[in-house]
Amino acid sequence: MGRGHLDTPEKAQIREALFHRRQDEPKTDIFREFNTSRTTGYRILREPPERQCRTFHNIKGCQETRGRPKKLSDDDVQKFVRFIRTTAGDQMAGSPAMPP
């Protein structure tokens, strides 16, 4: 059984240790020092630079990989709001639940 997900500081420590390692020192020794499997260590090294930051979801064009996917897109929600407003007419205009 593995040790689970590595958090960002642990990944950063592994990357930093690999950057400063001696040329004759194998990468697997550093992975072992951080109690990380070889597969996980190499996966950390393969991560693109934009994914190495824990706020990668704020970068434009970067797809969110965590959490449950949305059932409705933002466009679908806007279409729904417009539909409600047109069918409900003036009844919903003063409602606090429906933003202008």
**What are the residue boundaries of the structural domains of the chain, listed by start?**
1-59, 69-100
Distance, CA of 81 to CA of 31 (rounded, Å) = 52
Its pTM stands at 0.44
pLDDT tens digit sequence for 1-45: 456 667 777 888 888 888 888 888 888 888 888 888 888 888 888
Distance, CA of 30 to CA of 10 (rounded, Å) = 12
Distance, CA of 2 to CA of 42 (rounded, Å) = 16
Q: Is residue 93 pLDDT above 60, yes or no?
A: no
